[in-house]
Amino acid sequence: MATPIDISEEAGVRYLHFGSDWIQGAMRIARPWNLELEYTREMMAALLLRDNSSWPRKVLLIGLGAASLIKFLYRNFPLAHLTVIEIEPDVVAAARQFFRLPEDPRRISIVIGDGMEYVGLSERKFDLILVDGYDQFASSGELDSELFYQYCRKRLDNLGILSVNLLTSNHRLDRSISRIAAAFDDRVLAFPSCESGNAIALAAEGFPVEMSLHELRENAQSLRKETGLNLMPCIARLERARTCPDNLLKL
């Protein structure tokens, strides 16, 4: 059965729904390239972890939604090639019709398929993998399995970072983090949950990540100058949570 697609608008923001009130994506109509939802901004915290002006070059996005993540990366990282795996063709059509998904086959590859199957069978390597795949019942299915995270790790190169959107409202957050930790040899960091009930987990492959929160703030200031994205509140919440011993982030 195809996923029901609904579009709503309120106070200048357009929303994507899968047959329920649950928000699957959003775009402020006056600022279509911005990341409207807090959790999408926090997923971009991965960009703070690698000190490389040419990173990321190869990005895999599992779950298209309202195309917020892909539009942000497309506009602000012109050297990046973006591959999107989306299981529902109607979601792609809605993203093009209502959320200004760019048409640029040189830089954007849209694959209609299953995310689990793709990472399990593909031989490609990526710098950054973003996972935000949920159905109309707020279920991610196999995309929240240890096997899936193992496959993701195999698809990352030596500077690879995985960024995953997890839900805290389903009371399975700790188990999700445990599965990521098992797949990545404990190289995982979970951000405190957003007000929306989303929590972002980052995991690293290859070269280790080690930076102070001061360095993280400096990177966030640079990213804000370059893209307009403000991740300082995200870092402040991380600092208050005291999940980085000695104010040092290690992955």
Residue 15: phi, psi to the nearest 5? Answer: -120, 150
In this model, does residue 129 exceed pLDDT 90? yes
Rounded to two decimals, the pTM is 0.95
> Rounded to an integer, what is the distance from CA 179 to the centroid of its chain?
17
In this model, does residue 180 exceed pLDDT 80? yes
Residue 112: phi, psi to the nearest 5? Answer: -85, 110
> The domain at 40-250 falls in which architecture?
3-Layer(aba) Sandwich (3.40)
Residues 186-222 pLDDT 10s: 999 998 877 767 889 999 999 999 999 999 999 999 9
Of 203, 199, 200, 158, which is closest to residue 184 (Cα–Cα)? 203
pLDDT at 170: 55
Distance CA 41, CA 228 (A): 11
Q: Where do the H-state alpha helices sit in the chain? A: 38-43, 68-76, 89-98, 115-121, 146-155, 173-183, 213-227, 232-241
How do strand 58-62 and strand 81-86 relate by DSSP bridges? parallel
pLDDT tier, 173 (very low <50, low <70, confident <90, very high otherwise): confident
